[in-house]
Amino acid sequence: MAKKVAVVTGSAGGLGKGIAERLANDGFAIVLHDINQDLLKETEAEFKNKGYDVTSFVGDVSKRDDQFNLVKHAVDTFGRLDVFVNNAGIEAVTPFMEIDEKELQRAFSINVFGMVYGTQAAATQFIKQGGGGKIISASSIAGHESYAMLGTYSATKHGVRSFTQTASKELAKYKINVNAYAPGVAKTKMWDRIDAEMVKHDPSLKPGDAFAKYSSEISLGRYEVPSDVANLVSFLASPDSDYITGQTILVDGGMVYR
């Protein structure tokens, strides 16, 4: 095939959409994916209007069969797979003493199980093709350091980091690189929801206070935008990153130092 092919889960909006657009501009054929069918179709139409080679797939990352069917759709449409981005994820904002089974099950099923299933599906196809591939997953600064009120979310992102290391060690013999990106504070709908939830649990906060507090701690003096993350993913998807694997790379403007 003339073009390489990239799948980006959770790419109807937010950081995932920014990543998908950057990879499209890099010359990849793109498989957009999301559970939100209406928004996904809007984004697909937008990409087509820009001249990108694109298709879309509605799926739930927490369902293993959906992840394998997503890869099948990519291969049926474009003939191969080269990059798989496990971007889909959800937030969870709860005081530690109030974390319950429902929250744990939902967050882990999407953020961790989804990453594992996507990695398995992509790796199966890469092994079949025989030419290696790139698997890139969404961790977070919360995968390097756990935060108050974000216990469940932080634990899931630590899980992504752990599985990234394990998968990278086991899949290296197939020339499959497995890495993750760790964003910081971005002005996205997810962060709007985090801010709103923190206000609910702390009456002293006003809307926007939590976002402002975390943003103020960024060394480079501004919050993150999708292109900041997309630039890193573009590098990890390129041949320039062929000697990098098992890493969870911070892209946070200077918040967490490891």
Task: Yes or no: say if 141 and 152 are a contact pair by the CB < 8 Å rule.
Answer: no
257 is catalytic: no
Structure token digits, residue 167: 């998968």
Q: Which amino acid is at 76?
A: D
Phi and psi at residue 10, in whole multiples of 5°? 60, 45
Q: Which of 4, 117, 157, 214 is catalytic?
A: 157
187 is catalytic: no
Structure token digits, residue 203: 């009456």
Rounded Cα distance, 258 and 242, in Å? 22
CA angle, corner 160, sides to 22 and 57, nearest 5?
50
SS3 30: strand
Burial class (CB in 10 A: 0-12, 13-18, 19+), 209: middle
Residues in contact with 103: Cβ distance below 8 Å, sequence separation at least 6, in sequence order: 92, 94, 152
Q: Which of 52, 117, 134, 153 is catalytic?
A: 153
Rounded Cα distance, 192 and 254, in Å? 21
Q: Would residue 208 be called left, alpha or beta, if left means φ above 0 and alpha means ψ between -120 and 50 degrees? A: left
SS3 57: strand
Rounded Cα distance, 192 and 210, in Å? 10
Which residues are marked as active site? 153, 157
